[in-house]
Chain A
Amino acid sequence: MMPPDVGVVATDVAWRVGYRWILKNISLTVAAGTVTLLVGGNGSGKTSLLRVLAGLARPAKGSVSCQGGVGFVAHHSMLYDSLTGRENLAFITRLDGGHAPARVDALLKQMGLERAADQRMGTYSRGMTQRLAIARALLSDPGVLLLDEPLTGLDEAAAQIVVEVIKQRRQDGHAIIVASHQLVELMECATDIGFLVSGKLAAWEPVNGRDAGAVMQRLRDLVADG
């Protein structure tokens, strides 16, 4: 049983593809009401770690526990081009055992998609698709929200909507982990930073007023240290 103030606990997690270890003995605890930025170079294991935490990839070693369910926004929308935005969200609520049109409408409005709600997702721009994917992740009001490059392809206004969602979730006491290269926009809502280097969690530190440049410098130092 996890304490109520803890969102995610991962213990000694390792994951591999074939004989290649992608994640190496990662242990972390993410408190509820915090936003952790996962920072690392390409191939450092950010996406793999989020997939393991979401339960989409089974770790070869170790264990993962999440409090209150997981919402996951990945590189792909995980939705259907031929369905409308509203139909996509309604379908997911049905799979979660419910029928909540009011919740669907509220999320479409929150994401600025109410006017496009009855258009097929295939006609959406990249930014609209990304916002619909975030709405999908929030449908079940999960205790843990995992976001993989959530600002990719978003214009300034759309990015601000996503940042506001992250801030709101943090205030509501949910745990959030964001993997992103776009640190400037996300630093204002982050509380902690996890540095991933070659599949290892090299450091896990509070933000402590640092800006994006200082975070990138810290990452470069950790990479240099190996």
Chain B
Amino acid sequence: MVAMRVPSCSGFGIWWQMANGFFAVAGAIAIKDLAVEWRTKTALVSSLVFAILVLAILYFARDATAVSAFEVAPGVLWVTFTFAGMLGLNRAFLLERENHALDGLRLTSATPHAIFLGKMIGNAVFVGLVQLVSLPLFILFYNVPIWNRLPVLVLVMAMATLAFVSVGTLLSAMVVRTRFSEVMLPVLLLPFLVPPIVSAVQVTWRILADRPMAEMTGWLSLLGAFDVIFFILSIMLFEAIITE
């Protein structure tokens, strides 16, 4: 165990302690969410099964003599990630609805911002796990040559995931008190996801086509802009969402 020494009296020390506490709370919430999911495995199993099914069905639905795998692969990849990830987003706040646990979180000294960040990190790890399993299957099914461009693909996956989980965490908190939260979440979330997913598909297409990096920077910048906007708006609005 490494203990970091921090000056306790200086302004920097106070800021450090506050930031440390903030991230410790967010980390505790994320770890709790992942521990609960690991024990129940409800969302993880259903998301992985869904992802594998989508990849397989769309592969066999294609007429290989008329449409090349390369043409449909970017769309297939992001449809898979988006819908499989959505199953996990639903779970994030359903867990807090059980036994009214969200009230328990609000009664602690955890700030709404830290709660949001913790839930968001938990969702991001969940979506990351689904992607980690889906990506090799995608490469296997569609036989796409991405090994030399894998870091760029991982970058765009991380950026799109950030946008996805930012707005997804906010909206799942919003719909969890409604009677049909499982239906409401996709209805509300998908319109917000169109711009970042279109950007991700465009970049993925260029990665698969081995196009120069310069062709992707515009789309990556757009994706980055959505990441920043979605994250800031979501973390700001979260307090109003969870307050009665």
Contacts and interface: CB of A to CB of B under 8 A. Distances in A.
Interface of A: 51, 54-58, 70-72, 74-83, 87, 91-92, 94-97, 120, 136, 140
Given A82-B40, A83-B36, A95-B25, A76 B107 contact: no
A92 B108 contact: yes
B133 to A, nearest CB: 22
Given A80-B36, A82-B36, A83-B32, A95 B110 contact: yes
Given A79-B99, A96-B108, 5 more contacts: A56-B103, A76-B100, A78-B100, A80-B95, A95-B29
A92 B104 CA distance: 8
12 contacts: A51-B244, A56-B107, A56-B244, A57-B244, A78-B104, A79-B101, A80-B36, A91-B28, A91-B32, A95-B110, A97-B21, A97-B109
Nearest to A57: B244
A94 B28 contact: yes
A55 B21 CA distance: 22
Contacts of B63: none
Given A56-B107, A80-B36, A82-B39, A97 B101 contact: no
Nearest to A142: B107
Contacts of B148: none
B101 to A, nearest CB: 5
B228 to A, nearest CB: 27
Interface in B29-73: 29, 32, 35-36, 39-40
A62 B103 CA distance: 22
Interface of B: 21, 24-25, 28-29, 32, 35-36, 39-40, 95, 98-101, 103-110, 243-244
Contact of B99 (A51, A57, A81): A81
Contacts of A92: 104, 108
A95 B36 contact: no
Contacts of B244: 51, 56-58
A41 B148 CA distance: 71
B173 to A, nearest CB: 15
Contacts of A82: 35-36, 39-40
Contacts of B104: 77-79, 92, 136
Contacts of A75: 100
A96 B109 contact: yes
A79 B24 CA distance: 19
Contacts of B29: 95
B17 to A, nearest CB: 9
B99 A95 contact: no
A78 B39 contact: no
B159 to A, nearest CB: 30
A72 B100 contact: no
B28 A95 contact: yes
A81 B104 CA distance: 13
